[in-house]
Structure 1
Amino acid sequence: MNADLKPLEEQVVVITGASSGIGLATARMATERGARVVLAARSEDALRELTEEITQSGGEATYVVADVSDRDDVREIARTARDAYGGFDTWVNNAGAFLYGKLEDTPIEDMREQFDTNVWGLLYGSLEATDYLKDHGGAIINVGSLASDRAVPLQGSYSASKHAVKGFTDTLRMELDREGAPVSVTLVKPASIDTPYPKHAKNHMDEEATLPPPIYSPETVARAILHAAEHPQRDVFVGGGAKGMSALGYYASSLADTIMEKAFVPMQKKDRPRSNGQNNIDGPTGDLEERGDFDRHVSETSAYTEASQRRSLTSVAVAGLGMLGLALYARYRTRRGEDEADERESERRRTVSSVPPSSR
């Protein structure tokens, strides 16, 4: 890459999907580190509240109410950045729409809405950023997913959209590099992140949705994004488990399929019926929530991600950390399966012991 990126405290950073989850964590962290931010989302109340929060804390922020699936709205984001700050240095395409359900149970209309946000919205943002940054230099950071590399059952449409994101991002990077443009293009691929993702998703399963472990904090992704805003990087996995599963899918695809089918399907369902609240397919849901309501362990850091971004380890060692993450994940699943089996056996024994001998 030919980009010479500024320190974050000298940057103007555009963030889409800034009203919750990863986008919200990134906005807050960027301003804490001195960046000026242009916030974009569909929820004006949330954007206004966040802007007031940042400015009252001594930061600089402005906002744009925008639906990234509308190219004119995306152009307005860029215009606002130019009018307010004279331009921008980093553009973060983070806005996303979420779906759960088997492909055959998911309406095509919902899939189309998801692609309009996840693919077309990111494409519009990337091209708008490219048009400006080719002459000024800077970074385009696209938020993909582990699902950019490894499809996840029950999130098939989401996986397809994130595969498209990877293909577009990789192509844009190569074309800009061939031109010698001073633009860094990074794809960030998080594992499961403790955000309101399941709550905001439109759910076509019978059960309430959740995310499979290991789960990382949204601040872990924000740190990775902001590191890429200062240091050109091709792509970065957030979480060693994400790297490990991607590597397993590349080297042992059938085994990865089996793990997905046997482990990831049940781990995306809770033992209670789904609720039909607001979802971000049908409308805006941003209300300044960074975190979800997971009752599982959430990792606040990722040693793998930090090592890979600082390049303090050799590529072999970094890959080893990723595989270690996968091994720990597999051990977690084995132990959990043993615990569940023990609990079922204990319940069976309690049931048998409660029945009078004459009735057995």
Structure 2
Amino acid sequence: MKLTGKNVLLTGAAGGIGARLAQELVRRGARVALVGRKANALAQLQARIADSGGEAVVVTADLSDTARLGEVVARCHDALGGIDLLINVAGQLSFRPFDEEDPAVLERIIRLNLVTPMLLTRALLPQLRERGGRIINIGSTFGAIGFAWFSAYSASKFGLRGFSEALRRELEGSGVGVSYIAPRAVRTPFNTGAIYRMAEAVGMHMDEPAWVVKQIVSAIERDTPEAHLGFPEKLFARINAVLPRLVDAALRKQNRAMEAFARGVDQE
């Protein structure tokens, strides 16, 4: 998809990936509806975009409140005059033993990471069909390899990947494309201090957000159906699809090392 002149609805726009992605989309000629909960951060991002000569509008909303998503879509449509591209970035992460997970957090993760993208997609499909648009779902390596201590997050991203694949097949020939783009861990405030300490202890690879944004934009422009970012994680994702017990064995030692960080008993 050529981005020049396109109208984009971007969720999670105030985040470490979302803010950089918004600026890159505008740099390439798109107009962006910045959607998220953090009004001040979104207003500051809008001002930076305006200073660069770009155009963006702010739509403040709690996207986990699924009853209000129709209103979000209407506000974005009214502000931009139609949507060509939906990019679902907003998400929530939890790193802890599953039996200690707060049920309310578990439900929010599934709503925000999976149900919200599905409902936004459903609401936007009529105009995306009319405009020959595209849906971009930002997933994770955790959507192809289920990681211990990230059970709820992994489940939500597995679901997002499955939704993207199924919808892509359903919409074939409709003029609407669907892409699933899966970064590995990214150096943003999305990750907690415990995750950073765990990543250092086990040698987990983490990418800079600027590189990840470059890969996302490239995938959008090339209409890539599915992309997994980072090596060797994208290789492990393929192996896990056909030989998951081999990956079980490969991760066993790492899982034990991660446990102390997940349980909050690691040392600062």
- In structure 2, what residue type is equivalent to 1:167? G
User: Counterpart in 1 of 2:145?
Assistant: 150
Within 1, Cα distance between the matches of 2:116 and 2:160?
10
| Corresponding position of 1:197 | 190
| Kept after mapping to 2: 8 A contact 1:184/1:233 | no
- Picking from 32, 56, 68, the partner of 1:61 is 56
Q: Which residue of 2 aligns with 1:103?
A: 98
In 2: Cα distance, 1:185 partner to 1:108 partner: 31
Q: What CA deviation, in whole Å up to 9, does each residue of 1:43-81 have, x standing for no partner?
A: 111111111111122110001011222234332332233
Q: In 1, distance between residues paired with 2:65 and 2:125? A: 18
TM-score (norm 2): 0.90
Given the alignment of the two structures, is residue 83 of structure 1 paired with residue 74 of structure 2, yes or no? no
CA deviation after TM superposition for structure 1 residue 132, in Å: 1.6
Could you tell me how far apart the structure 1 residues matched to 2:74 and 2:220 are? Answer: 21
Distance in 2, Cα, partners of 1:136 & 1:265: 50
Identify the residue that residue 16 of structure 1 maps to in structure 2.
11
AA at the equivalent of 1:90: L
**Greater radius of gyration (CA):** 1
Displacement of 1:134 in angstroms is: 1.1
Corresponding residue number in structure 1 for 2:156: 161
Residue by residue, what CA displacement relative to the aligned partner does 1:123-160 show, whole Å, maximum 9, x if unpaired? Answer: 11221232320111111000111111110111011001
Q: Deviations over 1:88-130 (max 9, x none)?
A: 2111011101101111121222211111111111111221232
Letter matched to residue 219 of structure 1: A
**Preserved contact between residue 153 and residue 260 of structure 1 (Cα < 8 Å):** no
Secondary structure of 2:232's counterpart equals helix
The secondary structure found in structure 2 opposite 1:142 is: strand
CA distance in 2, matches of 1:194, 1:176: 34
Change in Cα spacing, 1:24 to 1:261, as seen in structure 2 (3 Å) is farther
63-72 vs 184-193, greater mean Cα deviation: 63-72
Aligned ranges 1:1-360 → 2 under 5 Å: 5=1, 7-177=2-172, 180-199=173-192, 208-210=194-196, 212=199, 213-264=204-255, 266=257, 269=261, 271-272=266-267
Count of aligned positions: 259
Percent of matched pairs sharing the same residue = 30
- What is the deviation of 1:266? 2.6
Question: Could you tell me which amino acid in structure 1 is paired with residue 59 of structure 2?
Answer: V
Contact between 2:22 and 2:32, CA under 8 Å: does it hold in 1? yes
Give TM-score, length-normalised by structure 1.
Answer: 0.68
Q: C-alpha root-mean-square deviation of aligned residues, in Å?
A: 1.9
Which runs of at least 4 in structure 1 moved beyond 4 Å after TM superposition? none
Unmatched tracts of structure 2, length 5 or more: none
Counterpart code for 2:80? Y
Q: Is the 8 A contact 2:148 2:255 kept in 1?
A: yes
